Amino acid sequence: MNNPIKKDGDMMIALDSGIENQAYSFEDIENILKRLNFEVGGNWEYDHAYFDCLLNNDEHEYAFLRIPVSTEIGIIGEKNAHVRVGKPFVLVHRYEDGIDHDSISGNIQASFNQFSAPEDSDAEVDQNYIQKAQDLLIKVEHALLQ
Cα angle: 49, vertex 52, 54; to 5 degrees: 165
pLDDT (tens digit per residue) in 52-65: 999 987 777 889 99
Structural domain range at position 136 = 4-144
| pTM of the predicted structure, to 2 decimals | 0.78
pLDDT score for 19: 97
Q: Which helix (H) or strand (E) covers residue 135, if one does? A: helix 127-144
Phi (first) and psi of residue 134, to 5 degrees: -65, -40
Check: CB of residue 14 under 8 Å from CB of residue 87.
Answer: yes
Query: Which amino acid appears at position 27 of this protein?
Result: E
Check: CB of residue 93 under 8 Å from CB of residue 61.
Answer: yes
Number of domains in the chain: 1
CATH code for position 49: 3.30.310.100
Q: Give the least confident one: 74-83, 107-116, 118-127.
A: 107-116
Neighbours of 145 (CB within 10 A): 10
Cα separation of 126 and 37, whole Å? 21
Q: What percent of the chain has pLDDT over 90?
A: 57
Cα separation of 42 and 72, whole Å? 20
Parallel/antiparallel/unpaired status of strands 82-85 and 61-73: antiparallel
List, in sequence order, every residue forming a beta bridge with 10; answer none if it has no partner: 7
Cα separation of 140 and 125, whole Å? 21
Check: CB of residue 67 under 8 Å from CB of residue 39.
Answer: no
pLDDT score for 6: 53
Cα separation of 15 and 127, whole Å? 13
